[in-house]
Amino acid sequence: MSVFNLTGAASRLGLAVALAAGTATVFAGPAYAQKKDAKAQAAPKANYSKGFVGVYQPFAKKLDAGGDLNPLKAELPAIAAAAQTADDKFAIGQVTYSIGAKTSDPALQRQGLAMMIDSGSAQIGSDRGKLAYATAQLAYQAKDWATVQARAQQAIDANYGDDAAILLSESYFAQDQIPGGLAVLDKAIAAKVAAGQPVPEAWLKRAVSVAYQAKLDGEATKFANLFAQYYPSATSWGDAIAIQRNLNDYEPQALLDLMRLANRANALRSERDYVDYIGAVDARRFPGETQKIIAQGIAAGHLKANDVFVAEANSVSSSRLKADQADLPGLARDARLPGATLATLMAAGDAFLSYGQAAEAEEFYTRALTKPGADTARMLTRLGIAQLDQGKRDAAIATFAKVDGVRKPIAALWTIYARQGAPAAQ
C-alpha cells in the first residue's frame, strides 16, 4: 500500500459513518487514490512522517495479502510507536480500529477509536462526535463508566448530542446515580428548547419512568408535565395526572379539579380513574356531573352499571338531579343579591361550573374571591376552569398562575392544558 493509498483511505472512507455498522475499513483499492470528486478534493492534505511510512508500508503489504488478521495485532504497538505526526497517529488508529472490527475485538476497536480522537489530526474533520459516540458505546458494553461519560460528553460538545445524551444519562443510571442521569437529560432538554428544536419523546419517557421509580417526586412531576406539554395524548396526560394523584394525598375537592382536567384531556383510562372521579364529585353535591361521568365510564367500558359503588352513586344522583336543576335559578338570584354571603357565592359557582354553565360560574367565583374567608386557592382554580371553558385562555392562564399551596401543581397542569389550546367543555 502506498502512502497515497493511506492518505485517501484515512481521510475519505467515511469511517465514522461506517462505525455504527461495524464495517469501517482502511483498505482502499488502487483506484481510490485516483478519485477526483469534490469531496476528495476538499480533503485536507495529510502529513505523514518518513519513519512512520517506512514502518507502515511492509505492514500494509501483509494487510493487502488478506487472510487471518489476528497475527498482525502483535505488530500494531511497534507501528504506533513510530507515529510522530498527528496524521500518523490518526492512520494507525484507523488501522487498529479496522483490525479490531474485523476480528471482533472490542478492546482493540476502543483503542483505535481513542487513537483517532486523540490524534489531533485534521483528518477527523466533522466526524469527531461520531467517533466519540462510538467509543462511548463500546465503553458502555465494557462497563467502563468513566470513559463512557468522557467520550459521550465529547460527542455532545461536537454537536452529536441526541444519542450521546441518552448514553451519558444511562451511564449514570447503570451505576444507580439517578439524580446525575436526570440532570444530564434535564440539561439536554433545556438545550433543545433554547434552540427551538423538538425534544425527543424518548428522553421524556425515560426521565419520567426513572424519576418515578426512584421516588424522586419533584423530578417525576417535572418530567411528566414536560411529557404532557410536548407530546399531549391520553397516555402522556394520563401519566402526568396519575403521578400527581399518587404523589399527593389530595382532599376530595382538589382531587375533583384534577379529575376534571383528566376528563377534558381525554385521560380517564381505567376503572380507578372513573371511581376516583365519582368519589370526589360526590353524587349528593353534584348530581348532574356524577350522572355524566357514570354514563361516560359505562360507555367506555371502564364501569359496570351493576357494580355496587356505581349503582349507589347512580341512584343517589338520579334521585337528586331534577330538584338540583330546579334550584339553579333561585341560587343564581340569591348569589346576585348585593348582600350575598361567601357560602352562597361559592355554592352558586360550584353548581354552575358542574353543569357546564361557565359564564355564570365565573361571575360567582369572581365575587366570592372578594369576600373575607374565601378558600382562595380553590376559588382561583375553579375560576380559571370556568374562564378556560369559555375560551378565555389568557385570562385562565393568568388566574392559574395565582394559585398557591397544595393546589399549585394542579394549576400548573391546567396551565399546560390551556396553553395547548384547550377546547371549551361540552
What is the structure's pLDDT at 371?
A: 95
Say which residue, 111 or 346, is predicted with more confidence. 346
> What is the mean predicted confidence (pLDDT) over 341-360?
97
Mean pLDDT value across the chain: 87
> Which pLDDT score is estimated for 277?
97
Q: What is the pLDDT of residue 278?
A: 97
Predicted TM-score (pTM) of the model is 0.79
61: Cβ contacts below 8 Å, ≥ 6 apart: 1
How would residue 423 be classed by pLDDT, with cut points 50, 70 and 90? Answer: low
pLDDT per residue as tens digits for the range 92-142: 888 899 888 888 999 899 889 999 988 888 788 788 899 999 999 999 999
Spans of all domains in the chain: 3-142, 232-419
Question: How far is it, in rounded angstroms, from Cα 366 to Cα 97?
Answer: 71
Least confident of 75-89, 163-177, 365-379, 386-400: 75-89
Q: 3-class DSSP state for residue 109?
A: helix
Question: Mean pLDDT, to the nearest integer, of 70-97?
Answer: 89
The predicted structure's pLDDT at residue 53: 87
Region label for 67, one of left (φ > 0), alpha (ψ between -120 and 50) or beta (otherwise): left
CATH number of 232-419: 1.25.40
Question: Within 13 Å and on the Cβ side, how many CA atoms surround 260?
Answer: 30
Cell of 337: 343579591
> Which has the higher per-residue pLDDT, 361 or 32?
361
pLDDT band at 68 (very low <50, low <70, confident <90, very high): confident
Structure confidence at residue 23 (pLDDT): 34
What is the pLDDT at residue 125? 79
Asked if the model's pLDDT at residue 315 lies above 80, the reply is yes
Triad 266, 270, 275: Cα angle to 5°: 100
- Confidence class of residue 338 from pLDDT cuts 50, 70 and 90? very high
Residue 426 and residue 418: Cα distance in Å, rounded? 16
pLDDT at 75 over 80: yes
The residue with cell 380553590 is 378
**CB of 347 within 8 A of CB of 327?**
no
CA 10 to CA 122: how far, in whole Å?
11
Average pLDDT over every residue of 389-404: 97
Query: Which of the four pLDDT bands, split at 50, 70 and 90, describes residue 190?
Result: very high
Residue 395 has pLDDT above 60, yes or no: yes
Range scoring the smallest mean pLDDT among 3-7, 244-248, 392-396: 3-7
Strand runs labelled E in 268-356 = none
Report helix, strand or coil for 336.
coil
C-beta separation of 48 from 85 below 8 A: yes
Q: What is the mean pLDDT of the segment spanning 224-247?
A: 95
The whole-angstrom separation of Cα 228 and Cα 53 is 59
- The pLDDT of residue 44 is 62
Position 34 scores a pLDDT of 30
Any residues with CB less than 8 A from the CB of 6 and at least 6 apart, and which? 26, 46, 48, 53, 56, 60, 91
The predicted structure's pLDDT at residue 140:
94
**pLDDT tops 60 at residue 20:** no
Confidence of residue 33 (pLDDT cuts 50, 70, 90): very low
Of 16-20, 229-233, 249-253, minimum mean pLDDT range: 16-20
Average pLDDT, stretch 382-401?
A: 97
Residue of 219, 274, 264, 298 whose CA lies nearest to 423 = 264
Pick from 40-49, 227-236, 395-404: least confident: 40-49
The pLDDT of residue 73: 87
Query: Can you give the pLDDT at residue 360?
Result: 98
**pLDDT in the model for residue 25:** 34
Residue 53 CA to residue 22 CA, distance in Å, equals 27
* pLDDT value for 271: 96
pLDDT given at position 69: 85
The answer to whether the CB of 156 falls within 8 A of the CB of 168 is yes
Residue range 371-391, pLDDT digits in tens = 999 999 999 999 999 999 999
Mean pLDDT of 390-395: 96
Q: What is the mean pLDDT of residues 35-63?
A: 71
Q: What is the pLDDT of residue 425?
A: 57
